[in-house]
Amino acid sequence: MQFDLAPLSLTDHATDLMVMVLHKDEGAPFATEWFDRVVASGDFAGKAGDALTINAPAGMAAARCLLVGLGETDKVSAKTLDKAAKAIAEAAVKKGIQTATLAPQGALDKAFSRQLGLHLALAQYQYTETFGTKELPPASTLARVELSGELDAAQHGYTIGQGANFTRELGNLPGNTCTPTYLAGQVHTLKHDKLSVEVLDEAAMETLGMGSLLSVGRGSVEPSQLAVMRFNNGGDEAPIALVGKGITFDTGGISIKPGAAMDEMKYDMCGAATVLGAMKAVIELDLPLNIVAVIACAENMPAGNATKPGDIVTSMSGQTIEVLNTDAEGRLVLCDALTYVKQDNPACIVDMATLTGACIIALGHHNTGLLSNNDALADELLASAADAMDGAWRLPISDDYDKQLDSNFADMANIGGRDAGTITAACFLSRFVGDTPWAHLDIAGTAWVSGKNKGASGRPVPMLVNWLQSRAQ
């Protein structure tokens, strides 16, 4: 995608789509008589969320016009601008459009331009990998967007969107393609002279004592993997640690899930895919940061040798775990990954996982659940989530909840009962980070969309990259 400055005179400027973003109480910057007739017809009122694609007026060089409403001038908000950016992006990627031009507007600031770039990338994404003979919609031809300013912000947003699309593509792949080996191998697709990668196999993890992680994949013919990325682009600063759950398919193991919607358990690796998508954007943006990023990849299957309810496993930290439910497997791979990144003495740790159905009950599909042992880190992430329009909501953790993990036979159980399931899962993870500032993102409700539009969402890549950029400033 190329972002360029729009010419000062647009009435005779040839473009496939001329975009006018307008408040309810203002007129068009040109072609005013034509615009007044459109308004009089009732087809466009300028309300927030209004969008109308229409033939350009006679004498104008543009092929078509897109009118996008912002509502009342004094009521414009970041959410309104984000909706406008999404409407523009969805119209601009329609068939045959190669160039889109935005008429200059004072309200279209840096944040708007970033969101426009983001939504342009997201709107261009189309999954094609596993289709055979089915005829697919034509791919977007959009190659050039002209703006009155903030080109860097637009390109920045587009880069984040490409990272999110990488996450979406990995999430949408079926489990028989995106195996633990395939997912871990994606670290080799990321290129930067300050990036080093390695993939640990089961023998290496056995040597490190990762009995908890290895217990999850024991029933699968697919070997478990731990992939590590070290991005050393920040001088002598302590690294930021990112950890992602990469369960490439989750049957629940011996505690097997119901059959309905089990196909969606291919998305149980979206935490790892988020780490990969964020790292892709970080590398493209060349952020001056040190990051150690780890994805724990396994497949959770039932088998004669699979871990059983009541089994006790020993984690890399030396702590023992009574596995009361094999469908609470994400925390079992994450705890060893958290212990592993602790060896790098990180400044902070952020893990992300499609961890609990309880998070969907609590927050629905709107907000990512955020739990943390550090108020400052939690506040940073929440602020970045709000700025990126990628919502998150903080839930509490405390000793009262942690007691639910008590076990009569091990240092802890892997579940704490029905009550506060998202919170007790985070309490479990907190036992492996010590005093290091840490935050856990439960993305079970935000990582993918079900129903007719089923597919990975790419969230929370925008929030995560926005936060990393704030750390780089």
pLDDT digits (tens, 9 = 90+) for 287-320: 999 999 999 999 999 999 999 999 999 999 999 9
More confident residue, 347 or 80: 347
Domain assignment present for residue 98? The answer is yes
State the distance between the two ends of the chain, measured CA to CA, in whole angstroms.
26
pLDDT at 107: 55
Q: Is 46 left (phi over 0), alpha (psi -120 to 50) or beta?
A: left
State mean pLDDT over 415-430. Answer: 97
Altogether, the residues listed in the chain come to a count of: 473
| 418 catalytically annotated | no
Specify if 19 maps to a domain.
yes
CA distances, 75 to each of 19, 135, 363 (Å): 21, 44, 27
For the entire predicted model, the pTM comes to: 0.96
Domain containing residue 302: CATH number: 3.40.630.10
Q: How far apart are CA 301 and CA 119, in angstroms?
A: 37
331 has catalytic annotation:
yes
Instruction: Count other C-beta atoms under 10 Å from residue 176's C-beta.
Output: 12
| Res 7: pLDDT | 87
At residue 417's C-alpha, the angle toward residues 362 and 246, to 5°, is 70
Write out the two tokens for 130.
């596993």
Q: Is residue 157 assigned to a domain?
A: no
Name the burial class of residue 131, with classes exposed (0-12), middle (13-18) and buried (19+) by CB atoms within 10 angstroms of its CB. exposed
pLDDT at position 334 over 60? yes
pLDDT digits (tens, 9 = 90+) for 2-40: 999 988 888 889 999 999 998 887 777 777 788 888 888
Query: To which H or E segment does residue 362 belong?
Result: helix 357-363
Tell whether the model's pLDDT for residue 453 goes beyond 80: yes
**Bridge partner residues of 277 (DSSP):** none
Q: Which of 110, 194, 230, 257 is labelled catalytic?
A: 257
The whole-number pLDDT of residue 316 equals 98
Exposed / middle / buried, residue 112 (Cβ in 10 Å: 0-12, 13-18, 19+): buried
Q: Two tokens at 449?
A: 């969309």
In a domain, residue 64? The reply is yes
**Lowest-confidence segment of 57-61, 340-344, 448-452 by average pLDDT:** 57-61
111 lies in the same domain as 235: no
Q: Which one of the listed residues 64, 331, 431, 459 is annotated catalytic?
A: 331
CB contact at 8 A, 61 and 15:
yes
d(CA 355, CA 444) in angstroms, rounded, equals 6
- Whether residue 95 is contained in a domain is answered as yes
Pair 271, 384 in one domain = yes
Round to whole Å and give the CA distance between 291 and 243. 11
- Whether 224 and 372 map to the same domain: the answer is yes
Q: How far apart are CA 73 and CA 190, in angstroms?
A: 44
Instruction: State which residues form the domain around 91.
Output: 2-131+142-147
Which segment of 59-68, 274-283, 420-429 scores lowest on mean pLDDT?
Answer: 59-68
Once rounded to an integer, what is the mean pLDDT over residues 421-430? 98
Q: What is the pLDDT of residue 219?
A: 98
pLDDT of residue 164: 98
Considering the domain architecture, whether residues 123 and 176 belong to the same structural domain is answered as no
pLDDT, position 309: 98
Query: Looking at the structure, do residues 341 and 208 belong to the same domain, yes or no?
Result: yes
Tell whether the model's pLDDT for residue 89 goes beyond 60.
yes
Residue 400 lies in a domain: yes
Q: Distance between CA atoms of 393 and 386, rounded to whole angstroms?
A: 10
Residue 163 located in a structural domain: no
Residue 40 has a pLDDT of: 87
C-beta of residue 298 within 8 angstroms of C-beta of residue 217: yes
pLDDT of residue 106: 62
Is 445:367 a contact under the CB 8 Å cutoff?
A: yes
275 with 397, same domain: the answer is yes
> For residue 442, which of 284, 206, 268 has the smallest C-alpha distance?
268
Helix, strand, coil percentages, rounded to 5, for the chain: 35, 20, 40
**CATH code of the domain covering residue 43:** 3.40.220.10
* Interval 336-354 mean pLDDT: 98
Name the average pLDDT for the chain: 95
Q: Which of 429, 427, 316, 421 is nearest to 360 (CA)?
A: 421
For residue 53, what pLDDT is reported? 93
More confident residue, 27 or 136: 136
> Do residues 182 and 234 share a domain?
yes
Domain count, the chain: 2
Q: Are the CB atoms for 166 and 276 separated by under 8 Å?
A: yes
Q: Which of 147, 181, 196 is the last residue of a domain?
A: 147
pLDDT of residue 344: 98
Q: What is the pLDDT of residue 105?
A: 65
Confidence grade of residue 165 (pLDDT, cut at 50, 70, 90): very high
Is residue 94 one of the residues assigned to a domain? yes
The dihedrals phi and psi of 146, each to the nearest 5 degrees, come to -105, 130
Residues 124 and 243 in one domain: no
Give percent above pLDDT 90 in the chain: 85
Closest CA to 247 of 327, 169, 185, 189: 327
Q: 20 - beta bridge partners?
A: 67
Taking the C-alpha atoms of residue 408 and residue 83, their distance in angstroms, rounded to an integer, is: 53
Q: What is the pLDDT of residue 72?
A: 86
